[in-house]
Structure 1
């Protein structure tokens, strides 16, 4: 699943910083795709190297949704965002719910610019009625199971799934959304009345998380909570971790930066599942990411054609694109308010190290940039730039950050020595 660009050739990055190290370094990449040498350099003005980013939650749409995204265009977008590994959610057509479909997806993804790791559906056809054959999919290398886009709302089925996760050493990633509470909500409840649309209460997320944490405690099965968005959800996860439960959690870039008031101003273009929440919720999830309660940032990259985002609140599709802007958003979260200095080791932890570990691919991704290791990294520079509207690599342009100015940009991405985004360094 490495890019079909021929064998890598030797090249050198000069005068760069490396996340977790002090000083400036020259990084020499060998023609076998490994890092041959890291030697001291006089300066570190060439940017900062991070291990290749890992997205545990990507919607690549192919097969079946190629109008919005293809594996090729999604791979381009991921590489442009600094990602070398992405976990492709199962809500495609057909659904990734059998070993044959896992193999078919891997074959389709051969030659794109990132390694694509298929996420197995949790239930057959995403219908929420019958668990998939977890053992058969795990034997095919699937490490993560999810019906993302749909909550597995049946407690008995979640119990069955988590029991299977415990047996196989895999993880169940839950889209926490109680249908009986959320109903036809489209925006965070506190702003819904002013918009004249149905509200989406925080309890719709928190009720499912509380129930599933009890089931994880009962089974020992690993529970991963997708796109945490409320202060109450953060409190539940924090308590579960204190109790030693096998739970991990993610947050999206848009839930770290944008609020329900932003959605109310900008309209259905910012319709997302779960919805953008209050400023207090944003403060809570940012603090939880910094203190480790939330383990990682996952993009929930959800491309849609423009026509599906330029209609009424009720008719608009849920979802936003995030692969190309995730890194600068997270850099803002980990920047010192006074100096602007970014804690790059923390950024690497939440965007590479933890997602690689939770996704079960630590041998492939999330490794520190070290001599003898794979030349799988991204180079970030302090550079002012405005996101979109032109230049998106994704086939869809439903980004919540179009027009926003960022302070950092991915300028080069490499996977096993092959440059997948950016220009080869001179000399």
Structure 2
């Protein structure tokens, strides 16, 4: 064992590390460990170099050895937790951050990092508690405030999220992402003028900010300013042609503007990028139905129902089958729709119509009467029932 040589190799390795020559640094740290197998700093340094190369398992192994030599090292616990988190092992990462916090209870960064691990694990409420502790210890951390805002937004606490983003922007008004996020929260709160102000600012700061264009398009859509919405969806899709959400929403706006073929073309693209998206099949089916392309509409309703059985999809497929003169199939679908939505008067009335076409007058009368109970002011139903009375005496 030659401690002097080990130290020399460590220092050379640190120089290589600072120069971002991580492989060379690892080689020097390895030499240091060969000279002194109990050299904690060499294991730590080698672990950090491996971490920089995204070799998380190898980094964790070096941090394990360093902690075996010195179990009460908060920094190494944090390094290992970081590697565990980046490697997807959030449970163990949380355990290491917790151990580190016992050694450094006033270290706000540890609360912050543990919150991130909890977010990644889906534990929003406990993550928020850690964000709160971190903010209490350091209320002027821009990124921390933004991340807490995201957690608050995820659990529907929009006003609190808005406050955090405002505080963050008071620290740095030049951050496009923070403006976009605050604009999005204003959109969720239906404060559309404020949303536009922030989204305009985000785009001014970052002219190619795709998510900001998409979000601003959503605001214009909510304001029924469809021309501006289309312009922003077009820009968002120009920047990112594979954005299925922007394509889907542009399809909706195209439909609202009467651009049926353009809407269908957008939904075709959505289904290329997201082939198991039931809403896209459903909406395309509705558009094809409106164009009286009933076989194509039926195929899309079939796929939508296969992916996500839904009362509206069954109801509309029933109407499609009726138009294709498949009256028995229509009755089956109205029955399925009514199991999911038993108070749908229109479904009872339409099923009655198809029963009548097939000559099942008693079933038709029963459905008309149920429809009338649900919609007692419908004079047309009363007339239909009156016409059936002679046939059922």
Common fold, TM-score beyond 0.5? no
More helix by share: 2
TM-score by length of 2: 0.28
Greater RCO between the two (CA within 8 Å, min separation 6)? 1
More strand by share: 1
Q: Considering only CA atoms, is the larger Rg found in Structure 1 or Structure 2?
A: 2
